[in-house]
Amino acid sequence: MELKNLLEKMIKVNASDLHLKANAPPVFRINGKLAEEKGQSLTPEDLKKVAYQIMTPSQQQTFERMKEMDFAMGVRGLGRFRVNIFLQRGSIAIAMRAIPISVKRIDELDLPVILKDLSLKPRGLVLCTGTTGSGKSTTLAAIIEHINENISRHIITIEDPIEYLFRDNLSVICQREVLMDTVSYSIALRHILRQDPDVILIGEIRDRETMDVALKAADTGHLVLSTLHTLNATETINRIISFYPPHQHEHIRVLLATTLVGVISLRLLPRADGKGRIPAVEVLISTPAIKEYLLDPVKTLLIQSAIEEGYSQYGMQTFDQSIFKLYKDGLIAYDDAIQAVTNPDEFKLRLVGIEATAERGWEQFDKK
C-alpha cells in the first residue's frame, strides 16, 4: 500500500478523513459521507508496516504500551495530517484527517462576524462546541489568526496534537504539543500562568482539572479559548457545572457568570450546490440577562430564548435562526435544513409565513 498515493487522492477529492483497516479497502470521508476506494483490501501486515513507518521510535513505544497513538505529521508537497493509530479486533487501524496548510479567516469560513469581536476580548472564556468533525479546531484557528493579525498578544496553545501551524504576525504564538513539548495537559496547565500569556488556547477540556485552570485563567485576566463536545450553548453550561460536585455548583455558576464571554456551537451542513459544507452556528454572548440566567438553575432554561431574542442587539443566534438564514439565502437544501433544525414543525410554519409562539428575535430574518 502506498500511503502517499492515498493522501494525494485525499487532497484531490477534498476528503476530510481517510480510514484504513484490515481486510477492507481504504475509505474517504467526502462532504461528511463515506466513500470506498476501489481496489484491493488492506492486509494487517500492510497497516502495521505503514503505521510503524510514520511513527517515531518514542511514538512506537507509546503505541505498544497504550494500544493507541495521536499525533500530527507533515507530508512534503501535500500538507499536514492529524493521525490516530489504534487497534481493532487485534489488528492496526488508522484514521487520518487533512489539515489545511493555511489558516482560513473568519469570513472565508462563513462564520458570524460577531466572532471577530469575541476574539479581541481582553479576557474571559470562549468555548467552541460541537460533535467530532464539526469544525471546532478550524474555528479556533481562525480566531487565533484574527488576533494575530489585529493586536499584539502573547498566545500559548496546548494541543494534542498540534494541528494548524501559526506564524507570528502582530502576536507572538508559542505552540506546545502534549508528549513532545510537555508531559501532559495537566502539567502544562499547571505552569502556564507563569509563562506570561495573554491568550491561552486549550485544545480540549476533558476533565475537571482542565476546567479549573481554564476558569482560573479567565478569572485572572486572560482570554481562554477551548473546545467541548457538547451540542449547543445550554448543554455546554450544564456540562461545565456537571464537572463539579453539587456543593460547588453555586460557586461555579458565579464564576461562569463572571468569566464566560461566549459559546460558539457548530454543525456542518451540505451546501445546496454540492460544493462542500457550510457551518450552521449558534452563538451565545454573555449579556446581563445571560449572566442572570447562569446564576439561577431554574432560569438556565431561559438561555435558549435569550439567545433567540438577542440577534439584533448582541449578534447572538440559535441554530434554528442560523439554519433559517442559510436556507433563505439558498445555501442549503430544504431536506438538510429540516433534519438539522431543533424544531422542524415551527421551522415549516415559519417558511410559509405562519408565526410561531416565540417571535422576538426573528424580525431580521423575516425581512429577507
33-88 tens-digit pLDDT: 999 998 888 999 999 999 999 999 999 999 999 999 999 999 988 889 999 999 99
Distance (Å) of CA 171 to CA 2, 151, 152, 162:
40, 7, 4, 18
Residue-averaged pLDDT of the chain: 93
Domain count within the chain: 2
Domain that holds residue 292: 114-366
Is 129 inside a domain boundary?
yes
Is 286 inside a domain boundary?
yes
What pLDDT, on the 0 to 100 scale, is given for residue 359? 58
Query: Same domain, yes or no, for 49 and 128?
Result: no
Query: Same domain, yes or no, for 141 and 81?
Result: no
Is 302 inside a domain boundary?
yes
pTM of the entire predicted model: 0.89
Query: Same domain, yes or no, for 84 and 184?
Result: no
Q: Where are the beta strands (DSSP E) in 21-117?
A: 27-30, 33-36, 68-75, 79-88, 91-99
Query: Same domain, yes or no, for 81 and 130?
Result: no
Average pLDDT over residues 334-363: 80
- Cα(203)–Cα(227) distance, rounded to whole angstroms? 6
Helices (H), ranges, 201-333: 208-219, 233-242, 249-259, 288-295, 303-309, 311-314, 319-328
Q: Please name the helix (run of DSSP H) or strand (run of DSSP E) that holds residue 338, with its range, or none.
A: helix 334-340
Query: Same domain, yes or no, for 82 and 198?
Result: no
